[in-house]
Chains A and B, each alone.
Chain A
């Protein structure tokens, strides 16, 4: 991106540079022609240079376009606003550098012009020295010394005129230059203003985007917090419900344990050989209907009759009393152990 920006500027440079070189070259040419063709000075006031400068100006017109470019750019979406910002900042920086470059170039141009003038002056002085040499030679020739003097006077006047005209021309050129400069400055100011506006607009948009983003973030945060609170409330509610359920299941379980104990006590006929030392443990598996799915003697009493009495008792119940609640059933009654251990033998 940044590279591209640089490239945009560098590509924009040649059309911007070339007219300046061209103008310098043309000015020099004019001076040379003017000095060389002393006799045909009349075309000095000819408009061509004007047309050239006008052409130059028109050529300079597209200059700000790369800077203004961001103006035409469509609004970036919010996610990209930061990048846009960055890009704009970079652009501003590029612009700043470009302007500096331009100022530098102007200064250089001026220096070059100055140099050209100086050279022209030197050239002129050299020409004058040559002319003087030639006049002196003519005078020595005597025949036409006076005429030459007159001619010299005329020449001098004409040169003076020429000088004045050149001065005016120079002033006019300077004026033109100043005007151009003014215009350029105005354009520059305009461009800056536009840039500033664009920047401000961009900044505004960025701030707006930021604000929106922040708002959205805040909103999201609030939403998140609300949701978290809701979730927490829900969780607590669920936990409370779970606890209540747990308690209810436990009490249900106890109720049905007592029922099962009662039913089995009625169904169990401890054999005569039973003693209080005998214990048989049976693992029971029930169906959700309360029907016995399976029974397994996990610990024998060591007395076959006793074990049989326990097995028979467990199998004698057609349906075990079990809670309606499926969860309680699964938790407690799907599988459990029954221990037969007589405590109150008569």
Chain B
């Protein structure tokens, strides 16, 4: 009896062991494949021409605007419409197999209809592989704001896929230079991010530079030489009203807005040497933030809005410095080469972007503020004026093309470049406006 019991328990143990072994074997068999790197390519997306019901104004096509926006981001590779096998405008017309065959990851379809003086767009975004709708919306804009509608859809599509708000409805400010009647003609312009719908805000025979957007996107601060010497102006875009806020002897340059829009950082040399000051816009009172025999300029608030980045050549050549707070001791950030200037931090505190000289060329580079690792982002060679998109995903800068200054957009990681269609003459000093709701 005892023996039998023992045998039974022994059997049970053996069975348990066997089960354990099976489990162990099972656990081993359950393979885990870790993917740590993604495609080094842009995402294929198809923006199908929207069906049009009713009187839709000719000209700009929504799908073309969206396609162009997404391409500019560098993260997408839109399929040209002529390569599409069908042109669906609603879900039931979408044959996922076809789009899959075309290697597409996402398909955007939609249709436009007229509602009085407004155009209504109903659109849907599909994930081809999951055969799933990930976005569906209706948006409307006035008949003459088709581009606004297009950029809005771009923003929504971008956000649905990437998880980051789109920045296609934002504005760019930049300065063009050409010759008119034998004289130089500087023009401060504001346009859509794709360079379209550009409007001239200021024209001068003297240089205009360093446009800077107020946080709410309503005002531009810039440097104009219209009086023969540099002065800082604030320009209300809605009214065209201009205010000269800084006209001290010597330099008045490099304006940078505080997060609340109530003060400006600027470079003044009224005391004999280029130093950074903070001006309270209400009182116009300035206080000096740097005091060094070297050039200190190109200030920008950091992501926290408390401290600032700036350029100083106190080490012998221009380098990027950071002050944790406006009155703390500066800490040098860049060491990679003898020339690093014009810092533009992102709003997360991850990176600072700047102009970086490597050998005889000037590139846009960025330094990871946590690791200190510096990455050169551009392949062009005479690059300056980097400006980060408000969502931190794109960067616009000025470079030389056939001896002319043009604007180029790259993804903030430098992966993709997109040249903005350049108007006549030179285009320089781009400044990317904020997202305005």
Q: Do chains A and B touch in the complex (CB under 8 A)?
A: yes
Partner-B contacts on A (CB < 8 A): 253, 257, 260-261, 264-274, 303-306, 308-316, 331-333, 335-346
Residue of B with least CB distance to A335: B30
Cβ of B37 and Cβ of A343 under 8 Å apart? Answer: yes
20 chain-A/chain-B pairs, Cβ below 8 angstroms: A265-B35, A265-B38, A269-B38, A269-B43, A271-B164, A272-B75, A272-B393, A305-B160, A308-B127, A310-B35, A312-B105, A312-B129, A333-B31, A338-B33, A339-B35, A341-B34, A341-B35, A343-B36, A344-B37, A346-B375
Q: Does B413 contact A (CB under 8 A)?
A: yes
Complex CA–CA separation, A310 to B129 (angstroms) = 11
Q: Which residues of chain B are near A337, meaning CB under 8 Å? A: 30-33
Most A CB atoms within 10 A — which of B32, B128, B413, B415?
Answer: B32
Q: Which residues of chain B are near A304, meaning CB under 8 Å? A: 163
Complex CA–CA separation, A332 to B129 (angstroms) = 24
* A344 with B164, Cβ < 8 A, contacts A253-B31, A333-B31 known: no
Complex CA–CA separation, A308 to B135 (angstroms) = 13
Residue of B with least CB distance to A276: B36
Residue of A with least CB distance to B134: A308
Q: Which residues of chain A are near B39, meaning CB under 8 Å? A: 265-269
Complex CA–CA separation, A237 to B380 (angstroms) = 66
Cβ of B163 and Cβ of A272 under 8 Å apart? Answer: yes
Q: Which residues of chain B are near A253, meaning CB under 8 Å? A: 31
Cβ of A342 and Cβ of B29 under 8 Å apart? Answer: no
Cβ of A261 and Cβ of B35 under 8 Å apart? Answer: yes
Most B CB atoms within 10 A — which of A272, A273, A346?
Answer: A272
Complex CA–CA separation, A274 to B35 (angstroms) = 13
Cβ of B130 and Cβ of A308 under 8 Å apart? Answer: yes
**Per-residue 0/1 for B78-95: is the Cβ within 8 Å of any A Cβ (1 yes, 0 no)?**
000000000000000000
Q: Which residues in chain B, 387-437, are within 8 Å of chain A measured between CB atoms?
A: 393, 413-415
Complex CA–CA separation, A267 to B31 (angstroms) = 20
Q: Which residues of chain B are near A310, meaning CB under 8 Å? A: 35
**Per-residue 0/1 for B152-188: is the Cβ within 8 Å of any A Cβ (1 yes, 0 no)?**
0000000011111000000000000000000000000
Residue of B with least CB distance to A271: B162
CB-contact partner of B33 in A264, A269, A346, under 8 A: A264
Complex CA–CA separation, A331 to B41 (angstroms) = 34
Min C-beta distance of A80 to chain B, whole Å = 35
Residue of B with least CB distance to A273: B163
Min C-beta distance of B133 to chain A, whole Å = 12
* A260 with B33, Cβ < 8 A, contacts A272-B75, A312-B127, A312-B129 known: yes
* A306 with B29, Cβ < 8 A, contacts A265-B37, A316-B129, A344-B36 known: no
Cβ of B129 and Cβ of A273 under 8 Å apart? Answer: no
Q: Which residues of chain A are near B413, meaning CB under 8 Å? A: 345-346
CB-contact partner of A331 in B29, B33, B35, under 8 A: B29
Residue of A with least CB distance to B25: A331
Complex CA–CA separation, A102 to B32 (angstroms) = 97
Cβ of B33 and Cβ of A305 under 8 Å apart? Answer: no
Q: Interface majority SS on B: helix, strand, loop or mixed?
A: loop
Q: Which residues in chain B, 1-46, are within 8 Å of chain A measured between CB atoms?
A: 29-39, 41, 43
Q: Which residues in chain B, 95-141, are within 8 Å of chain A measured between CB atoms?
A: 100, 105, 127-130, 134
CB-contact partner of B161 in A257, A305, A313, under 8 A: A305
Min C-beta distance of A41 to chain B, whole Å = 90
Cβ of B33 and Cβ of A339 under 8 Å apart? Answer: yes
Min C-beta distance of B394 to chain A, whole Å = 10
Complex CA–CA separation, A338 to B41 (angstroms) = 21
* A305 with B162, Cβ < 8 A, contacts A337-B31, A346-B413 known: yes
CB-contact partner of A342 in B38, B75, B100, B161, under 8 A: B38
Residue of B with least CB distance to A258: B33
Most A CB atoms within 10 A — which of B35, B38, B393, B414?
Answer: B35
Cβ of B36 and Cβ of A341 under 8 Å apart? Answer: yes
Min C-beta distance of A211 to chain B, whole Å = 39
Min C-beta distance of A342 to chain B, whole Å = 6
Q: Which residues in chain B, 215-247, are within 8 Å of chain A measured between CB atoms?
A: none
Cβ of A306 and Cβ of B163 under 8 Å apart? Answer: yes
Residue of A with least CB distance to B159: A305
Residue of A with least CB distance to B391: A272
Q: Which residues of chain B are near A315, meaning CB under 8 Å? A: 129-130
Residue of B with least CB distance to A330: B29
* A342 with B37, Cβ < 8 A, contacts A253-B31, A272-B162, A331-B29 known: yes
Cβ of A338 and Cβ of B164 under 8 Å apart? Answer: no
Most A CB atoms within 10 A — which of B37, B39, B134?
Answer: B37
* A268 with B130, Cβ < 8 A, contacts A305-B161, A306-B163 known: no
Complex CA–CA separation, A343 to B43 (angstroms) = 19
Min C-beta distance of A341 to chain B, whole Å = 6
Most B CB atoms within 10 A — which of A260, A270, A342?
Answer: A270
Complex CA–CA separation, A265 to B36 (angstroms) = 8
Q: Which residues of chain B are near A341, meaning CB under 8 Å? A: 34-36
Cβ of A336 and Cβ of B30 under 8 Å apart? Answer: yes
Cβ of A270 and Cβ of B130 under 8 Å apart? Answer: no
Cβ of B105 and Cβ of A269 under 8 Å apart? Answer: yes
Cβ of B414 and Cβ of A346 under 8 Å apart? Answer: yes
CB-contact partner of B163 in A269, A303, A336, under 8 A: A303
Q: Which residues of chain B are near A257, meaning CB under 8 Å? A: 31, 33
3 closest A-B pairs by beta carbon, nearest first, are: A305-B163, A273-B163, A336-B31
Q: Which residues of chain B are near A345, meaning CB under 8 Å? A: 413
Q: Which residues of chain B are near A309, meaning CB under 8 Å? A: 38
Q: Which residues of chain B are near A333, meaning CB under 8 Å? A: 31
Cβ of B164 and Cβ of A272 under 8 Å apart? Answer: yes
Min C-beta distance of B268 to chain A, whole Å = 38
Complex CA–CA separation, A304 to B161 (angstroms) = 9
Complex CA–CA separation, A134 to B112 (angstroms) = 178
Complex CA–CA separation, A322 to B127 (angstroms) = 26
Residue of B with least CB distance to A311: B130
Q: Which residues of chain B are near A308, meaning CB under 8 Å? A: 127, 130, 134, 161
Q: Which residues of chain A are near B37, meaning CB under 8 Å? A: 265, 268, 342-344
Cβ of B38 and Cβ of A339 under 8 Å apart? Answer: no
Q: Which residues of chain A are near B164, meaning CB under 8 Å? A: 271-273, 305
Complex CA–CA separation, A313 to B36 (angstroms) = 13
Most A CB atoms within 10 A — which of B41, B128, B130?
Answer: B130
Complex CA–CA separation, A158 to B36 (angstroms) = 149
Complex CA–CA separation, A260 to B39 (angstroms) = 14
Cβ of A273 and Cβ of B162 under 8 Å apart? Answer: yes
Q: Which residues of chain A are near B30, meaning CB under 8 Å? A: 335-337
Q: Which residues of chain A are near B75, meaning CB under 8 Å? A: 272
Complex CA–CA separation, A343 to B393 (angstroms) = 18
Complex CA–CA separation, A219 to B130 (angstroms) = 70
Residue of B with least CB distance to A250: B28
Q: Which residues of chain A are near B38, meaning CB under 8 Å? A: 265, 268-270, 309, 342
Min C-beta distance of A29 to chain B, whole Å = 76
- Beyond A272-B163, A308-B130, 13 additional contacts (C-beta under 8 Å) are A261-B35, A265-B37, A273-B164, A308-B127, A308-B134, A312-B127, A332-B29, A337-B31, A338-B33, A338-B35, A341-B35, A343-B36, A344-B37
